[in-house]
Amino acid sequence: MKKTILLSLFLAFATLVFANGTGTKVETGQSVPEFKFHDQNGKKVSISDFKGKVVMINFFATWCPPCRKELPEVQKQIWDKYKDNPNFVMLVFGREQTADELNKFKKENHYTFPIIPDEKRKIFSLFAEQSIPRNFVIGPDGKIIFESIGYTPKDFKNLLDVLARNVQ
């Protein structure tokens, strides 16, 4: 009897803990959580400053192998294509990374897009609990229209398709 009760309690606890296996806190269709950060020039910026634009948010870390596969594609297929479009904003956050670490990484890899430190996961934690890389696309109305976890060519193509349909 005790074993049955203990097993039941364990299963109930495990279900609660692992119910959201992706660790995602926001979903497609929801409004983007409000947050502020300092851009690459040190200016304080709010996500709401970009209302009316399509915003792509990427979370990565320099030590993450899938992130290191994805970022060259982000440079070539997204940043190089949309960087001059006034209706598009790309925010790339280095999770648990300092500005110095990110600047060195950016220089070594010849990335030209801004990379913003999220040293204590303050921004990441609004979107998820775990797993990178992660991409979110926010529509002009401030609602999440796309999300992906990890890097696969198929998911990346879906990201490109969403951007092509929504960035005017």
Q: What type of residue is 73?
A: E
pLDDT for res 134: 97
Using 50, 70 and 90 to split pLDDT, how confident is the model at 127? very high
- Confirm if 25 and 111 have CB atoms less than 8 A apart: no
Q: Which of 52, 142, 62, 126 is nearest to 96 (CA)?
A: 62
pLDDT at position 80 over 90: yes
Mean pLDDT across the chain, nearest whole number?
Answer: 88
pLDDT at position 168 over 50: yes
DSSP strand pairing (144-149 vs 36-38): unpaired
Which sign, positive or negative, has the C-alpha torsion 142, 96, 106, 42?
positive
Q: Find the helix or strand (DSSP H, E) in which 44 lies.
A: strand 44-46
For residues 94-103, give the mean pLDDT.
95
Please state which architecture CATH assigns to domain 23-166: 3-Layer(aba) Sandwich (3.40)
pLDDT for res 1: 55
Both tokens of 168, joined, read 């005017």
pLDDT at position 20 over 70: no
pLDDT for res 40: 81
pLDDT at position 58 over 50: yes
Q: What type of residue is 164?
A: A
